[in-house]
Structure 1
Amino acid sequence: MDSKSVSKIARMVQPESLKTEAYQPWSRGRGVDVWAMLCAAIAGDLETIKAFVDRDPGLLNCEYEYLTPLRFAVRENHREVVHFLLEKGVSPAYEFVDSLLTIAKDRGYKELTTLFESKLKEQYHIVPEGDEVADIIKSFDTEKLFSLFDANPELIYAADARGNQPIHWATLTRQVSVIDYLLDHGADINAKRPDGARALDLTNGDYHYRSSYRDLPPTALRKHEVLVGYLIAKGAYYDITVAAKVGDLDRVKELLDEDPGLVNRLPDYYGYYAGLPLRCAAGAGHYEVTKFLLTRGANPNEPEPGIAPRGSSLHAAVQGRHNAVVKLLLEHGADPNADVESSGNCLYIAKRVGAPIEMQNLIASYGGALNVELASYDGDAVTLAAMLFANPKLDLTSGLGAAISEGKQQIIELILRFQPDILKNFAFRDVSTPEFARWLMERGLNPKLADWLGATPLHRAASQGNIALAEVLLEFGTDIDAIDTDASATPLGWAARNGKKEMVLWLLEKGANPNLPGDEPWALPKAWAERRGFADIAAIF
């Protein structure tokens, strides 16, 4: 174990949820085991990692705030650990903020850079040219696209950084002519992205490209169901998730007769836009398909790791405001408090989508309720007050963070009446406005406190170019040269990495040191700007 890794681990703060032996569904392991795995990955302690994986193979993909052992091993250039995790089936296409390949390139790890370039190309056809192809498809310039393919036929399979091949992008953008061209020239209609998605799974968009409402041009095909039928006619495999999504009961029956285990088996692709058959049917409001799946043993609380640890079928039905389906699922034991990643629980989503009060009352009658975090996020002082009167010592950490980020001053005032010192030891991340930040700091909020990886509020303000907030933070004593343990950068480095020129100039004027960190030259502000292509910022240093 090298001294730099030891120092980084020592500076990290063990999150409360990773101090417990209880299983943490969002982290996919016992809290203490997940912490041990992350620390071992940072330290390059392969034997410890092997021992934990032997005991619980699920820890291969454990995480905290989306950060995994593989990511940390790459970050610290522990090649033996990286090879072990990849050999055990962990995907090399992991991405959170930056990809593993980008992390290796940033730090100058040549061996790992070569390894990931090779793995990504071999397994998923990811090549640098893939991003150019994707941009052309998104621009709807078919003449330029077809000329490019005619001159370079191999690019028909070229995937972008996220693993989208042209067939995926043609579907996301709903361009039938491009789909036809690609299939006529040998593209695989069932090709899978790293996350398991095929073209047929993407007719209504995905997390990064919201075809349903945000990113699709108004002149493009409106009804994604048309594209579903078109792709099936062209040879796309028609699986049970798509059949459930479009309400094809006969196809669902046919597939379950062939393989009854499909009813609760996770599909290759699941996330916000796809999941278990029951979720797909319930979310679309297909009552008869939902009822049939339940009679065949579908579990409304079947976990979808990383997205819905206690099931998502009820949540999906509530979001779609399908009252009859909601009632059916509750009668079959659906958890009324099941939450979906970044989307709250069932009662919360009912309020957010304006579901009828009858549906909200139905969920509540089965025990559904807002928790501290959701009540705070929603500004529901009545519900939170009731909780605090019942238990004045309630853990309010998650609620405090939600109230601060959403600017819920009334909620903060309520919290302070019951726990007046709570702000003093709270490491906050996002705050709604500089004025609200000042109000909070005048009441004890400490801007010097960093998160578990050493990032301070000033780091985040710098990355956003929020000079007004940064001014308040400095006024209340934050460290202008604090170095986080993940990017190994100061706030000045975060600003340079994100192309925030005005913030860079402002921080320098305020005395930020451009020569930190001294022991990791790749993490200097100038180096970040150069790698990210911000020549005008690099020229400042």
Structure 2
Amino acid sequence: MASVIALVNGNLAKQYSMLYEGNITIARMVQPDELKRETYQHWSQGRGTDVWNMTCASVAGDLPTIQQLLAHDPRLVHCSFEYFKPLHFAVRENQQAAVSYLLAQGADPFNTGGDVLAMARERGYHELASLFESIYRDRYHIAPEGDTIAAAIKAFDTTRVYALLKEQPALLHAADQQGNQPIHWAVLTRQLDLVDYLLTQGADVNAMRPDGARPLDLTRGDYNYRSWYRDLPATGLRTHEVLIGYLIARGADYDISVAAKVGHYERVRALLDRDPGLANRPPAHVGYYSGLPLRCAAAAGHIETVKLLLERGANPNEPEPEIAPWGGALHAAIGGRHFDIVKLLLENGADANAEVESSGNCLSMAKHVNAPQEIIDLIASYARKTRPSDGAAKHDDIEALAAQLQANPQLPVDHLINGFIGKEKRQHIELILRYQPDALHRQLWDPTAWWDTSTLRSAEYTQWLFERGLNPHRRNWLGITLLHRCAAKGDIDIAAICIGYGCDLNAQETGRSATPLGWAAREGKTAMVTWLLQQGADPNLPANEPWARPLAWATRKGHQDIITLLQQHNAHQ
């Protein structure tokens, strides 16, 4: 396999995926605009073209290219687009040599954009499945029994937990499929008595999950279990700092990030005296509720600790990859409504335009928490200084948008279309089309960006968009069409509009190698399966990947009525 990359005068010369023109999977993929750029893409953790080349090389199993790219920039082993990383693609295509190499270079099997073990199993990649099973078992203690005791802890059924541990003492260290041992779940659910019991039985107070999180990092919850506002029962322990103190007393490693989180000024100072580099060194676990000490202190409102950290060289804009590429301290202070800290961080150079994963930028967060107008104005003034306007439309005020378009008919507006479509702002869309008639056809909005079709709201609205130029053949970068989404959701009315405007009934995407019929079969949408078959959908596609055919999906998921229906239409695996 020829490499995508050639070394020319010491520089990497891009040749793109055209060298993989024989690879059907890559041919079905669409290079995102961000990944056509030579500039560094902060969310993707690499130059755009390098991330795309890394993706294509992983799909194709082109080990020489992967090695050259990583030699040039080792960080690319963690690069991604829309959360999908090189390891995900290498596993997806059964590229065993590439998988082994990426793992050896530090790729995280738990952070790839999907469950690589499940993917290997469902595709029949037995060697890869065995590899990940051994990694999960030997490195992280993951076992089927771990899910059993985790379920009992999450149900607050301590009687069941005690009985399970009495029957099988080894369950004390058994992790569920996400890598949570019982001690992690006891902390996540804030069951102090159970934490005490588990530690007394020999649980490791510093047990580390695959993502680096220890029990001490989980007292406010994590991404999947939000102890502080959503998942914890109303009768649960409300003050998570109680757990922090208890775990420290029981021997938990008390690092600078936790000390900053609880405002332990003297502890932070002592640790910085011992190692000044701690001010800008991320801990083993970086997540929404754990990270750099400055973000932890700012989020909790500990202004004296914030001042100390700044004095000792903490950078307000220090990147936390995948969470806060431009720094998260200012955003955290705004979210906590700690406006004295907001002012302090801005005065110390914090980027007022910084964006945080799933939480918008600093100005949008200020509006979300109903910050005083003077704070909003202050943040806005710094935002203009640190990153001047690029001339694009910045808001959905229709009068302001009209004035901008009148002054500049070619105003960049593609970035607004997604929001306008999702909010059904028909007047805004019509206004743009007056000046830029092809805006809907060419626009960057991806009608297949979400796992359902809720952004299109109705069949009538979908038809309205198609009539005004929405491209019926548009696929997202992984080859997924709007019809795939309709099939998975069971939206027959919208699917009928799509078919009427020429959407490909048998389009095959790259993620599951499936057609819309395959998606409907996988999700158990019997009415949709019936309708697609009536429209002429082929039940035996893809031809060369029997594991991805509709009957195979229905069989794996146990949808017996769909199995029968497909068999009546001569489907086979």
Query: What letter matches 2:67 in structure 1?
Result: K
Q: Report the residue type matching 1:39 in the other structure.
A: C
8 A Cα contact 1:156 1:166, kept in partner: yes
Shift of 1:388: 4.7
Cα distance in 2 for partners of 1:59, 1:199 equals 30
Q: Is the 8 A contact 2:91 2:116 kept in 1?
A: yes
Matched, 1:156 2:172: yes
Of 463, 467, 471, the match for 2:488: 463
The match for 1:433 among 442, 457, 479 is 457
Matched residue, 1:133: 149
Other-structure match for 2:571: none
Judge conservation of contact 2:393–2:411 (CA < 8 Å) in 1: no
Quote the residue 1:90 is aligned against.
107
1:389 to 1:297, Cα distance in 2 relative to 1, 3 A: farther
Deviations 1:298-330 (A, max 9, x none): 100001111211111111111122111111110
The offset of 1:58, in angstroms, is: 0.8
Match of 1:276 in 2: 292
* CA 170–392 in structure 1, closer or farther in 2 if over 3 Å, else same: farther
* TM-score (normalised: structure 1): 0.94
When structure 1 is superposed on structure 2, of 487-496 and 113-122 the one drifting more is 487-496
Q: In the alignment, what sits opposite 1:42? A: 59
Say if 1:439 and 1:293 are closer, same or farther in 2 by CA, change over 3 A: same
Counterpart pick for 1:71 among 83, 88, 94: 88
Q: In structure 1, what is the Cα distance between the partners aligned to 2:461 and 2:51?
A: 35
One-letter amino acid of the structure 2 residue matched with residue 166 of structure 1: P
Structure 1: runs of 5+ lacking an equivalent: none
Work out which of the residue numbers 410, 426, 437 in structure 2 matches 1:393: 410
**Offset of 1:219 from its aligned partner?**
1.7
Displacement of 1:370 after TM fit?
Answer: 11
Q: Deviations over 1:246-305 (max 9, x none)?
A: 222122112111211110001111122222111111111211111111111110000111
Q: 1:112 aligns with which of 128, 136, 156?
A: 128
After alignment, is 418-427 or 303-312 more displaced?
418-427
Distance (whole Å) between structure 2 residues aligned to residue 191 and residue 275 of structure 1: 18
Deviation at 1:405, TM superposition (A): 2.9
Q: Which residue of 2 aligns with 1:524?
A: 549
* Offset of residue 386 of structure 1: 6.4
CA distance in 2, matches of 1:384, 1:133: 56
- Superposed, which structure 2 residues align to 1:112-511 within 5 Å? 112-368=128-384, 379-381=396-398, 388=405, 391-426=408-443, 427-429=446-448, 430=450, 431-434=455-458, 435-511=460-536
For 1:231 and 1:283, how far apart are their aligned partners in 2?
Answer: 21
Q: Quick check: 1:21 aligned with 2:38?
A: yes
Q: Equivalents in 2 of 1:371, 1:474: separation in Å?
A: 41
- Quote how far apart the aligned CAs of 1:72 are: 0.6
- Structure 2: gaps spanning 5 or more residues: 3-19, 567-573
Is the Cα–Cα contact under 8 Å of residues 490 and 516 in structure 1 kept in the other structure? yes
Q: Secondary structure at the match of 1:133?
A: helix
**Secondary structure of 1:486's match?**
coil
TM-score by length of 2: 0.89
In structure 2, relative to structure 1, the CA distance for the partners of 1:180 and 1:24 (3 Å cut) is: same
Deviates further, 454-463 or 382-391:
382-391
- Closer/same/farther in 2, CA of residues 402 and 501 from structure 1, 3 Å limit: same
Cα offset for 1:85?
Answer: 0.8
Q: Tell me the distance in 2 between the aligned counterparts of 1:375 and 1:406.
A: 17
1:339/1:389 Cα in 2 relative to 1: closer, same or farther (>3 Å)? Answer: farther
Cα 1:465–1:200 change in 2 (3 A) is farther
Distance in 1 between the 2:357 and 2:431 partners? 27
Distance apart, 1:139 and its partner CA: 1.0
Matched, 1:100 2:119: no
Aligned mates of 2:70, 2:49 — CA distance in 1: 14
Secondary structure class of the residue paired with 1:447: coil
Number of the residue aligned with 2:6: none
2: CA distance between counterparts of 1:127 and 1:169? 15
